[in-house]
Amino acid sequence: MRASFLQALALWVSVALVVSGDETSAGDRKRTTKHLRPVREKRDLEPIVGTKGAEILGGSNQQIAKQNPDALQPPPTDAGTGVPNLKWSFSLSNMLLSNGGFVREQNEWGIVTNGSVLVSVVTSSGKNQLFKADTGDIWYFPKGQGHAIQGLSDGGAEYLLVFDQGDFNAVGTTFNIDDWITHTPPEVLMKNFGLPNSSTPPFSTTPTSAGSIIPGTVGNGTLPKAMSGELTGSSSYYFASSTKNFTKAPGGGGQYLTVDSTNFPIVKSLAANIVEIDVGGMRELHWHPSGAEWLYFIEGQARGTVWLGSGQARTFDFTIGDTAVFPDNSGHYIENTSPTQKLCYLEIFKSDVVEDISLAQWMALTQPDIVAQLLNISVDAVKALKKEKQVIVKNTN
């Protein structure tokens, strides 16, 4: 995920420049507005906010501009050039329509985003596991465990894979059994699998370049019995998120499910929150002490500002299929911007646990007089702050 994100970055930046190139030069056609926030309907698709900006005279991609109103008309609180583009849309990535049984030399975290799949895995100690993963369910394969994933739904199944290193597709990091078999001398295959000599070489019907996704038929879902047993309990590679109850956020704006080593013991290096935000709700201002955050948007639309300290802030808009990386220790929020639709997205961390620090809770639990002086507000206003982490807040208006 990361590799394609970075490769794609250059492309995206050039697109963004076309759209926002004029936003800082005060144009000839000055505009005024009585509103603190720009009236987007009026100056739709033009980089004009109040008296700043000017119309785009060259062409612009209206569809991209429409999806990124905060790039075109940043909130006045955005500042500096220190926050690079942190967003990438999967719609702009190459589709690899190719490549059944494979191994990855990396920890692999997967979530089913549509349909159901049948997953089988074999470990180095000869244990195996077979599970059906439905929409929302998660798996985790520690580095180098052989596995196969088969689609079960008529309309197709879709899943998102996350790796804790960027080069997941580099030579030597992934291998398919068909690829290996067809690149091994036939006499070695005969010896290895204990096959009798015959006029046709072994595996002569195996195609050389099947790739990692092949058409097939759905079997009866039974696994051969492993001598060492099946993976169960704390060694299971499967987490049935779709059967779990989400935690209602104290702030009343939605719910979330944390999937990390505390409830899914096999995960050591990838922890996640599945976050659902109601209409009007917002994931509160927070940051993560445990490292960078990867985001993936499953449903709805959102915006979020990344603040890096030193007055550097930039706002991004997100929709289905968008992904982003928010840097280690950056302050941010995610707001549901749809008037009608729930927002669902993933927060993923290269860590064994999900950790965050809430700005409001931090302020509420610090000496009130210090916070009051720092922010030039009343001590009473500080004392009114909620001491409990709100996680997802609801609309107060």
Ligand X SMILES: *[C@@H]1O[C@H](CO)[C@@H](O)[C@H](O)[C@H]1NC(C)=O
**Catalytically active residues, by annotation:** 347
| Structure-token match 């009585």, residue found | 34
> Does 35 count as an annotated binding residue?
no
Q: Choose one: 99-107, 214-222, 225-233, 276-284; the region binding ligand X (CB under 6 A).
A: 214-222
Q: Which stretch binds ligand X (CB under 6 A): 13-21, 80-88, 219-227, 337-345?
A: 219-227
d(CA 73, CA 315): 10
x/- site string to ligand X, residues 320 to 359, per CB under 6 A?
----------------------------------------
DSSP structure class, residue 178: H
**Which ranges of 288-378 does DSSP label H, i.e. alpha helix?**
359-364, 368-375
Binding range to ligand X, per CB under 6 A, among 2-10, 216-224, 280-288, 344-352: 216-224
Of the candidates 124, 199, 205, 396, which one interacts with ligand X according to CB under 6 A? 199
- Give the footprint of ligand X on residues 125-154 (CB under 6 A): 135
Q: Is 288 annotated as a binding residue?
A: yes
Inter-residue contact 150 to 274 (CB < 8 Å): no
Strands (E), 169-267: 174-176, 238-239, 247-248, 254-259
Binding-site size for ligand X (CB under 6 A) equals 12
Q: Considering only residues 220, 234, 310, 396, which one is a binding residue for ligand X as defined by CB under 6 A? A: 220
Cβ closer to ligand X: 167 or 187?
Answer: 187
| Shortest CB 244 distance to ligand X, Å | 6
State yes or no: 183 annotated in a binding site: no
User: Could you say which DSSP state residue 217 is in?
Assistant: -
Q: Which of 255, 222, 220, 258 is nearest to 239 (CA)?
A: 258
C-alpha to C-alpha distance for 178 and 209, rounded to whole angstroms:
8
Q: Hey, what are 143's tokens? A: 């580095």
Which tokens in the block code for residue 357? 């620090």
**HSE-up of 179 (CA within 13 Å, CB side)?**
17
Q: Given the DSSP bridges, would you call strands 87-89 and 322-326 parallel, antiparallel or unpaired?
A: antiparallel
Minimum CB distance to ligand X smaller for 155 or for 194: 155
Of 114, 192, 209, 263, the one binding ligand X by CB under 6 A: 114
The one segment of 21-29, 68-76, 218-226, 268-276 that binds ligand X by CB under 6 A: 218-226
Per CB under 6 A, does 77 bind ligand X?
no
167 binds ligand X (CB under 6 A): no
Ordered alpha helix ranges (H), the chain: 2-20, 62-67, 69-72, 177-181, 186-193, 359-364, 368-375, 379-383
- Residue from 63, 222, 340, 397 touching ligand X (CB under 6 A): that is 222
Binding-site sequence positions: 108, 147, 286, 288, 293, 332
Instruction: Write out the residues near ligand X by the rule CB under 6 A.
Output: 114, 135, 155, 187, 197, 199, 219-220, 222, 244-245, 376
Annotated binding site for Mn(2+): 108, 147, 286, 288, 293, 332
